[in-house]
Amino acid sequence: MSEYQISSENQLERTHQEEIKPLMRSLTKGEFQGHSGVNISYAYLCHPQAIGAVAISTGRIESWVKYQEVMFDLYQNGYSVFIHDHRGQGLSGRMTKNPHMGFVNDFADYVADLKLFYQEVIEPNTQQKPQLLCHSMGCAIGALYVLAHPQDFAQMIVCAPMFGIRPALPNWLANILIGGNLLISRGLGHDASYFLGQKNYQETEFALNELTHSETRYRLFRDEYNLQPEVQLGGVTGHWLRAALKAMDGIEAQASQISIPVWAIQAGADTVVDNKRQSRVLAKVPYCEVQQILGARHEILLEEDQYRRPCLEAILEFLRQATNR
């Protein structure tokens, strides 16, 4: 039996209505002006007897509304929790005429927003040195952040980190395709255009999804996005893909300079990120432990209990190590 309090899938419907939703009503929510004037939405929970503080850096298309169960589990185990929606997604400001387009000029903009969030929201509301929990694209942002600001977070946890994307195209081919996309955008006078095969938000049937084995968690996440359609986001633009490739190359080149402890959780059945490149990057990080959860899909924080529970237990154990130092 785990010593940690972790919500279970077979009781999640009840827990969601009777415990998670009431806790979410006590969230402090707000927004600040991020880099280049984009509004950044955030939320946080301050635990009255906090043993630590956790900031969450979410993945692409994600919003804090998708992380309610994760926030609940962290809070139940004694942590204050801070989360913001990255620019161009969730409840934060969009930078394209079509709000469904996944767009960013440079991942440095995400990092600048996180720094402002740290200074304006996290630091004034906790006495503990916070720890950083990241998922997917949020891991790339987190890695770039700790390279630029190694003093801000005690430790970093990366779940299914986006240090490579599947399918992994050769750089020369990716650059040709992205260059063509950007030329078309400029030629048509658009601020951005979808990359090949990308489109507006569309809900995928559970049976066809590649993100999680958990039908309950998948449905709850989709229900939240249907209740708040303003958080919906579609596919990526050429601009976002160019910025992502540049960010991932930069992380691989500088991985040996990450100076804080890192716990990496790899989803064994991930079809979204490139686990081979991910392993190569993580091997260069000096203070890094890697845990692979066999059979788990990309959304490991929203997976079935058989995959999610060991993931959460590892996260909570790693968090506790820092609080006990």
Give the tens place of pLDDT for each residue, 268-310: 999 999 999 999 999 999 999 999 999 999 999 999 999 999 9
320 to 7, 53, 203, 288, 325: CA distances (angstroms) = 18, 11, 37, 16, 9
- Measured CA to CA, the distance from residue 29 to residue 83 in angstroms comes to 10
Give the tens place of pLDDT for each residue, 96-130: 999 999 999 999 999 999 999 999 999 999 999 99
- Measured CA to CA, the distance from residue 82 to residue 80 in angstroms comes to 7
Is the Cβ–Cβ distance between 307 and 295 less than 8 Å?
yes
In the chain, which residue ranges form alpha helices assigned H by DSSP? 12-15, 21-24, 68-76, 107-117, 137-148, 171-187, 215-227, 238-254, 275-282, 305-323
Task: List the Cα angle 208/210/211 in 5-degree steps.
Answer: 125
User: Percentage of the chain surpassing pLDDT 90?
Assistant: 86
Contacts of 193 (CB under 8 A, 6+ apart): 181, 184, 185, 237, 238
- Say what the pTM is: 0.95
Give the tens place of pLDDT for each residue, 140-187: 999 999 999 999 999 999 999 999 998 766 676 767 777 776 666 665
Task: Please give the biggest Cα pair distance in the chain.
Answer: 61
